[in-house]
Amino acid sequence: MLIALVALGSPTAQARDRIPLPKPRPAAAPQPVEDRAAAGAEQRPDSAEPAGEPAQQSAPAQAEAAKPQPKPPSACRLALTEQIAIAPSIADINDPGGCGGTDLVRLEAIVLPDGNRVAVTPAAILRCPMAAELAEWVRTDVAPLATSLESRLAALDNFDSYECRGRNRVRGAKLSEHGKANAIDIRGLKLTSGRMVSLTDRASPRAIRESVRQSVCDRFSTVLGPGSDGYHEDHIHLDLAQRRRDYRMCQWDVWEPLPQIAPLFPAPRPDEAPPREVAADRPPERERSREPEPAQPGQAEPEQAQPEQAEQAAQPASPPVATKKAKAKLRKPRDDRPSERR
Ligand SMILES: [Zn+2]
């Protein structure tokens, strides 16, 4: 009341000098910039300001209000805590050619339920859902496998994650899921013992490779490995591509531990091996060439029978008739071959 009376009873300029607070409502005179800043939002709502100046004044404020508003974290981001993975968020990527993505993270390590960390080497740039699925896979499915090898999982060998490229690096091919930060290529699992378990090496324990195959095909919509298309013989490709009717692709042949290619020549027959049946078919010829002395007619029969019996005992599964035929087949070309071989 007092202020009001004073304000009414004296000239405006005088009142401003005498009474610093509260600041008078903006009248004809424009306010200094500092005052505007100091007054801030408190003065803005009354919107009694003239139309000219305030337009410039509120535009940057609005821009500021719009800019710093970070996108609310996705449900995935909220769920991917540091108890599950070390995966800081990174800025959206908008590369040419439609590459990039939003809700991206840099997956540096996966935290196992026991607190141990599995490094992702190098760190993978992935969309949050892909990173989360990968983390759950390692925590739930892969870590126990390492335990079965009497070791612990130390690292995941990341061969490739985000990369703006066509499928299989083929020019002009459809954009790879790698270009959408929705895929990762993995070569192997590194154990704390120092051992590297390659997922595509026949020498790696087959049971491990089978288990990994099963688990990734359960989780990811695309799994490509050896035997798929020739581009994935040394790594496994995983992604979360969305397809019509939720079509999933699981193409990974877990090779046998031993080479599937037959050796070029059969192993040489040991000298101590009993004579083959085919050899026994023409004993007179061999005996003649070796020892020209006449065969003992009485013992000829048992001598022939003995090796045959021995061979039958050694190979009980194969019927003698079939063996004879097969060996006869083998022998036939061999007779023609010597001239070619030498
Ligand atoms: Zn790939």
Q: Is the pLDDT of residue 207 over 80?
A: yes
Distance 152 CA to ligand 1 centre (A): 26
Distance 225 CA to ligand 1 centre (A): 9
How confident is the model at residue 123, as a pLDDT? 98
pLDDT band for position 121 (cuts 50, 70, 90): very high
Distance 159 CA to ligand 1 centre (A): 8
Distance 160 CA to ligand 1 centre (A): 7
5-43 tens-digit pLDDT: 444 444 444 444 454 555 555 554 444 444 444 444 334
Distance 109 CA to ligand 1 centre (A): 20
Distance 246 CA to ligand 1 centre (A): 19
Distance 205 CA to ligand 1 centre (A): 23
pLDDT band for position 275 (cuts 50, 70, 90): confident
Q: Is the pLDDT of residue 314 over 60?
A: no
How confident is the model at residue 308, as a pLDDT? 42
CB contact at 8 A, 251 and 275: no
pLDDT band for position 79 (cuts 50, 70, 90): very high
Compute, in degrees rounded to 10, the torsion defined by CA atoms 121, 127, 130, 136. Answer: 70
CB contact at 8 A, 211 and 145: yes
Distance 185 CA to ligand 1 centre (A): 5
**In the block, residue with structure tokens 């192993």:** 267
User: What percent of the residues of the chain are helix, what percent strand, and what percent coil, each to the nearest 5?
Assistant: 45, 20, 40
- The top-scoring range by mean pLDDT among 17-26, 173-182, 311-320 is 173-182
Cα angle 185, 189, 190 (rounded to 5 degrees) comes to 130
- Among the listed ranges 19-33, 124-138, 207-221, 253-267, which one has the minimum average pLDDT value? 19-33
- Between 213 and 169, name the one with better pLDDT: 213
Q: Distance between CA atoms of 74 and 80, rounded to whole angstroms?
A: 10
Q: Is the pLDDT of residue 162 over 90?
A: yes
Q: What percent of the chain has pLDDT over 90?
A: 51
How confident is the model at residue 323, as a pLDDT? 47
Distance 139 CA to ligand 1 centre (A): 21
Distance 183 CA to ligand 1 centre (A): 6
Q: Which residues on adjacent β-strands are paired with residue 104?
A: 90, 127
CB contact at 8 A, 127 and 103: yes
- Between 125 and 58, name the one with better pLDDT: 125
Distance 222 CA to ligand 1 centre (A): 10
- Between 337 and 100, name the one with better pLDDT: 100
Q: Distance between CA atoms of 326 and 55, rounded to whole angstroms?
A: 99
- Mean pLDDT (the chain, rounded): 75
What number is the average pLDDT over the span 176-182? 97
Distance 143 CA to ligand 1 centre (A): 22
42-57 tens-digit pLDDT: 344 343 344 444 445 5
Which amino acid would we find at residue 25?
R
Q: What is the pTM of this model?
A: 0.58
Helix (H), strand (E) at residue 183: strand 183-191
How confident is the model at residue 342, as a pLDDT? 39
Distance 198 CA to ligand 1 centre (A): 16
SS3 93: strand
Q: How many residues does the chain have?
A: 342
pLDDT band for position 271 (cuts 50, 70, 90): confident
Distance 237 CA to ligand 1 centre (A): 4
What are the angstrom distances between the C-alpha of 172 and each of 97, 161, 228? 11, 20, 21
Distance 220 CA to ligand 1 centre (A): 12
CB contact at 8 A, 189 and 142: yes
- Between 208 and 8, name the one with better pLDDT: 208
Q: Distance between CA atoms of 318 and 327, rounded to whole angstroms?
A: 12
Distance 178 CA to ligand 1 centre (A): 6
Q: Which residues on adjacent β-strands are paired with residue 89?
A: 105
Distance 238 CA to ligand 1 centre (A): 7
pLDDT band for position 260 (cuts 50, 70, 90): low
Q: How many CB atoms lie within 10 A of CB 144?
A: 11
- Among the listed ranges 97-106, 191-200, 331-340, which one has the minimum average pLDDT value? 331-340
Distance 209 CA to ligand 1 centre (A): 18
Using left for φ > 0, alpha for ψ between -120 and 50, and beta otherwise, residue 242 falls in: beta
Q: Distance between CA atoms of 156 and 80, rounded to whole angstroms?
A: 18
